[in-house]
Amino acid sequence: MAWISSQADWIKAFHIIFVVCWFACIFYLPRLFVNYAIADNDATRSQLAIMQSKLFRFSIPFAILTLVTGIALALASPSYFLNAKWFYLKIVLVLILFVYHGICGYLVGQFSQGKNRHGHVFFRWFNEFPVLILFAVVILVEVRPF
């Protein structure tokens, strides 16, 4: 039956869904950092710190599910992925993204303690980093340049 997809297709579909959800959080969280850095009163900063904390906690399952489904996809066809040079660069970029996510968590903790040391310009640039990772990963996966 052609209408029944393979198990790997289901895993890939959920992997893409989890990536999109994770990136939505990763894109919005640093935007909250920008807003905190430009806030001019304690009540606004307090509310933004709560929002940051809740969004960061919300993002963690998506990061984990992205990782789990990505590993499952690689294990579904290990000979293909082990011989694909682009795949190794993708893994490095994903690991960098997990480090970035961890830094976001650290910053959330700093904000919740009122210890922000950066201005809004820093966070505006910080907010652009995952966009670069996203571009690179999508190009690697879809174009497979090497």
| 1 pLDDT above the threshold of 50 | no
Residue among 124, 144, 141 nearest 133 (CA): 141
Q: Distance between CA atoms of 109 and 104, rounded to whole angstroms?
A: 9
Q: Distance between CA atoms of 70 and 58, rounded to whole angstroms?
A: 19
Given the structure tokens 């040391």, which residue do they identify?
117
Per-residue pLDDT tens digits for 36-75: 999 999 999 999 999 999 999 999 999 999 999 999 999 9
Task: Say if CB 33 and CB 107 are below 8 A apart.
Answer: yes
Task: Say if CB 93 and CB 137 are below 8 A apart.
Answer: yes
In the chain, % of residues over pLDDT 90: 93
**Is the pTM for the entire model greater than 0.75?**
yes
| 5 pLDDT above the threshold of 70 | no
Q: What is the pLDDT of residue 3?
A: 54
